[in-house]
Amino acid sequence: MTYLRQGAQTGSVTNIGFLMPCHSTPFYSHLHANIPMWFLSCEPPLLASGLNTHYWEAGEFEQRPNEFVHAMFANTSTSTHREKPSHLVLYDAMVVRVQKTLNEVGYVEDVRFFNTHFNGDERRRGDVVVYRYSNPLVQ
């Protein structure tokens, strides 16, 4: 987060999207900058009876990451649509599944940081990888 915080202070990081499992980042508490940020939704259903049909954005990304990224940045008004942030953050475990798609929509790997030696959650394995939007001509 230090890298992103410093980038926000210099203006090279203008908004951030986190393509990570729920509760993976300290978000504003470490960034200390007033820039737009978002993360994949993962709020629980209001009633236990809705558990089987409830939509989790984080779950959809995990199951279909390439389709999710294309839908998220498509020029349509879908429920997952978002403006392209200057930077995306994800774990290395997901990079191998979605790297080509990120490149197709205009992102290049910017920097990676050591995460942990041990992690019981496969989705959080490997480095934390930051992608930078580099091609405004890509739609």
Alpha-carbon 109 to chain mean position = 13
**Amino acid occupying residue 68:** F
| Per-residue model confidence (pLDDT) at position 139 | 47
Mean pLDDT rounded to a whole number for the chain: 82
Return the structure tokens found at 16: 């951030």
What pLDDT digit, counting tens, does each position of 51-83 carry?
A: 676 567 878 888 899 999 998 887 655 555 678
Q: Give 119's contacts (C-beta < 8 A, 6+ positions apart).
A: 125
Return the structure tokens found at 120: 């019981």
Distance CA 105, CA 88 (A): 12
Q: Strand pairing of 128-133 and 87-91?
A: antiparallel
Distance CA 60, CA 57 (A): 5
Rounded to a whole number of angstroms, the distance between the first and last alpha carbons of the chain is: 28
Q: Quick check: 61 and 41 in contact, CB under 8 A?
A: no
| Per-residue model confidence (pLDDT) at position 25 | 75
| Per-residue model confidence (pLDDT) at position 61 | 87
What is the SS3 assignment for 15? coil
What pLDDT digit, counting tens, does each position of 33-52 carry?
A: 899 999 887 777 676 776 67
Burial class (CB in 10 A: 0-12, 13-18, 19+), 124: middle
